[in-house]
């Protein structure tokens, strides 16, 4: 058995229930974890987990927008752009409200509103 | 050091703090507390998967010693080789170096062939006899061809009837044959059954071949003999073929006796399942494939010839401490694409950084893929997939992804062609540090 620890949950139950109730169960089922990992007690905050999740999603963005979202081609750079603008664009893609949009609506629909907002904050905070 | 401003963390915490979003992250995260900061990772294969994994390991955990083993001093991408065949892209524009990995990310790059893996001793053996020790091994070996699986198609046959499915001399050979084909000749492409590298690849290839022929050999024909009854982005391709090339391209499905069972490379003929002989002037055989041989040496392949992996991290399902990414893996519904290999490399790098440093968190993973294909230089189409683990299996995130719409206007197609070129510039920057031209 590999020595991998899983931090114990430290998320308030009430908040979890609130999210489940508001968003449905589609993304609240932690079944991805390798069944062979060894559980070691530990604590990690909800904020840290959210930050880590946003970082993992953001890694995929780099394949079209360049490392850290800094490359300008026909596809725009996203690093250092205003957070509110990035968020508006991402939420609009998700809602299919951007006429003529090509791949972004198909991508944005895979993520929650909170994740898209987290991505907007992540890229806005990077140097352009 | 790697341009990660402190304000990012603050910014995301602020976002997370004011909504119920924080509660969405009630996921376990993986790390090894107290394991220490040392660790040696060897990556075999410097393509989309391996080069990405090496770079992102050093971005996430600069203290790790990362060695990349890749025989070629420059990498030639499979994506966009079809554009080279079609005469709209230079061969040299497909070349990428390992300078950024060496100079900016302090990755040790060794240009040798890895010949064997000792999983118990945790070493990789190189052609020179050198042994490299590792704490974690990443294999990104791509594909090998199953020679003779298709009767008559061996390495000698490939010199006359190229596959050009691993870029290099094969790509140049096919390009020369296409340019030298007699007026009114027939270009035959033999497409394999699933699974194979780059599902839309054969169909983009005949598109780019037809683009070339339309301008240089307009009475020529393109015959696509297929061992399948359907293919990636099929409706979009067939609509585009009719629009740009009239009846130049003929697709023969499996049900219409498209499955080729024998190749005669000397006569440039192929025989189908029900005995039809097709003669070619240029014969391009995309043969059956399997995981690159080093995967076999490491014992990570199964009877299928491909590599089963744990879906959350792409650790081998069979051998501890070995991760496998890219075309060699069984990762359906993910395609065997350069884009997804790179994304898999990032997630695997994150998992290894979490294991070896104890400070990097591994949250619920996410992988994205976008494959563009060009039907004509200003006619692009795309397929998107975003993937997650659900009930211990990889799946597409519901209600996301999909292909470009049918019947879109020419501007939409032109935009996707521009984005295809932008994507190539971006991913080659992200993987190898190639400056955008």
Residues B77 and B101 in one domain: yes
Residues B307 and B280 in one domain: no
- d(CA A78, CA B190) in angstroms, rounded, equals 41
Residues B165 and B80 in one domain: no
Closest among B211, B212, B219 to B243, alpha carbons compared: B211
Predicted local distance difference test score (pLDDT) of residue A43: 73
Does B355 contact A at CB distance below 8 Å? yes
DSSP for B244-284 reads HHTTSEEEE-GGGT--EEEEETTTTEEEETTS-EEE-SEEE
Residues B52 and B133 in one domain: yes
Please name the residues between 372 and 431 in chain B that touch chain A, using a CB distance below 8 Å.
382, 384, 386, 388-392, 397-402, 404, 411-412, 415-416, 418-419, 421-423, 425-427, 429-430
The predicted-structure confidence for B283-319, as pLDDT tens digits, reads as follows 999 999 999 999 999 999 999 999 999 999 999 999 9
- d(CA B18, CA B339) in angstroms, rounded, equals 34
The predicted-structure confidence for A53-83, as pLDDT tens digits, reads as follows 999 999 999 999 999 999 999 999 999 999 9
Asked, for residue B24, whether it belongs to a domain, the answer is no
Phi, psi of B336 (to 5 degrees): -85, 85
Does B333 contact A at CB distance below 8 Å? no
The predicted complex's ipTM stands at 0.90
What is the interface size between A and B, counted as CB pairs within 8 Å? Answer: 260
Determine the average pLDDT of the residues in B229-240. 97
Residues B172 and B253 in one domain: yes
Q: What is the pLDDT confidence band of residue B343, given thresholds at 50, 70 and 90? A: very high
Q: Which chain A residues are within 8 Å of B8, Cβ to Cβ?
A: 121-122, 125-126
Number of domains in chain B: 2
Domain carrying residue B214: 155-287
- d(CA B428, CA B258) in angstroms, rounded, equals 36
Cα B54 from chain centroid (whole Å): 17
Of the candidates B287, B302, B333, which is a domain's last residue?
A: B287
Residues B119 and B53 in one domain: yes
The predicted-structure confidence for B59-87, as pLDDT tens digits, reads as follows 999 999 999 999 999 999 999 999 999 99
CB B131 within 8 A of CB B123: yes
Q: What is the pLDDT confidence band of residue A24, given thresholds at 50, 70 and 90? A: very low
CB contact under 8 A, A42 and B14: no
Closest among B48, B86, B92, B39 to B67, alpha carbons compared: B39
CATH, residue B198:
3.50.50.60
Predicted local distance difference test score (pLDDT) of residue B38: 74
Predicted local distance difference test score (pLDDT) of residue A2: 39
Residues B48 and B133 in one domain: yes
Predicted local distance difference test score (pLDDT) of residue A3: 36
Q: What is the pLDDT confidence band of residue A42, given thresholds at 50, 70 and 90? A: low
Predicted local distance difference test score (pLDDT) of residue A114: 98
pLDDT at position B57 over 70: yes
Residues B183 and B127 in one domain: no
CB contact under 8 A, B32 and A32: no
- Domains present along chain A, CATH in parentheses: 1-44 (no CATH), 45-128 (1.10.760.10)
Residues B277 and B174 in one domain: yes
Residues B351 and B264 in one domain: no
pLDDT at position B27 over 90: no
Question: How near does any CA of chain B get to the CA of A16, in Å?
Answer: 5
């Amino acid at each position: 058995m590999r020595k991998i620890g899983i931090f114990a949950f430290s998320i308030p139950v009430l908040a979890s229930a609130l999210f489940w109730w508001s968003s449905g169960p589609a993304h609240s089922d932690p079944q991805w974890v390798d069944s062979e990992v060894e559980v070691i007690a530990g604590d990690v905050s909800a904020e840290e987990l959210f930050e880590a999740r946003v970082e993992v999603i953001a890694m995929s963005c780099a394949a079209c927008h360049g490392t850290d979202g800094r490359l300008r081609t026909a596809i725009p750079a996203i690093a250092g752009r205003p957070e509110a603008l990035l968020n508006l664009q991402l939420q609009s893609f998700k809602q299919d409200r951007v006429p003529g949009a090509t791949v972004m609506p198909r991508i944005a629909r895979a993520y929650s509103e909170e994740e898209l907002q987290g991505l907007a904050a992540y890229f806005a905070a990077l140097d352009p | 050091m790697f341009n990660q401003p402190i304000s990012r963390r603050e910014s995301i915490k602020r976002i997370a703090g004011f909504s119920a979003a924080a509660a969405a992250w009630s996921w376990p995260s993986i790390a090894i507390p107290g394991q220490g900061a040392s660790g040696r990772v060897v990556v075999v294969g410097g393509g989309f998967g391996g080069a990405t994994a090496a770079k992102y390991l050093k971005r996430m955990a600069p203290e790790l010693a990362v060695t990349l083993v890749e025989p070629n001093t420059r990498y030639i991408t499979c994506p966009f080789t079809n554009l080279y065949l079609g005469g709209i892209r230079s061969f040299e524009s497909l070349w990428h170096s390992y300078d950024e990995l060496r100079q900016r990310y302090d990755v040790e790059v060794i240009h040798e062939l890895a010949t064997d893996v000792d999983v118990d001793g945790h070493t990789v053996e190189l052609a020179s006899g050198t042994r490299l020790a590792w704490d974690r091994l990443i294999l990104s070996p791509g594909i090998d061809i199953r020679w003779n699986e298709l009767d008559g198609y061996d390495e000698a046959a490939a010199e006359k009837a190229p596959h050009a499915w691993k870029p290099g001399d094969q790509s140049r050979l096919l390009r020369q044959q296409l340019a030298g084909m007699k007026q009114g000749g027939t270009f035959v492409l033999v497409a394999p059954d699933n699974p194979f590298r780059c599902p839309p690849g054969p169909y983009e290839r005949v598109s780019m071949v037809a683009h070339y022929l339309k301008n240089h050999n307009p009475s020529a024909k393109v015959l696509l003999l297929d061992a399948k009854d359907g293919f990636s982005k099929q409706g979009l391709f067939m609509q585009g073929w009719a629009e740009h090339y009239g009846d130049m391209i003929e697709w023969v499905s499996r049900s219409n006796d498209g499955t080729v069972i024998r190749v005669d490379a000397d006569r440039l003929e192929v025989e189908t399942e029900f005995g039809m002989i097709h003669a070619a002037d240029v014969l391009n055989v995309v043969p059956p494939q399997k995981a690159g041989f080093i995967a076999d040496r490491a014992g990570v392949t199964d009877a299928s010839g491909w590599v089963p992996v744990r879906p959350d991290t792409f650790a081998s399902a069979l051998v501890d401490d070995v991760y496998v990414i890219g075309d060699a893996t069984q990762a359906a519904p993910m395609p065997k694409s350069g884009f997804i290999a790179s994304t898999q490399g990032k997630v695997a790098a994150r998992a290894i950084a979490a294991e070896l440093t104890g400070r990097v968190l591994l949250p619920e993973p996410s992988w994205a893929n976008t494959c563009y294909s060009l039907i004509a230089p200003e006619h692009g189409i795309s397929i998107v997939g975003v993937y997650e683990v659900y009930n211990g299996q990889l799946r597409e995130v519901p209600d996301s992804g999909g292909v470009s719409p049918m019947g879109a206007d020419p501007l939409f197609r032109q935009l996707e062609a521009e984005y295809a070129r932008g994507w190539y510039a971006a991913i080659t920057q992200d993987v190898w540090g190639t400056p955008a031209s």
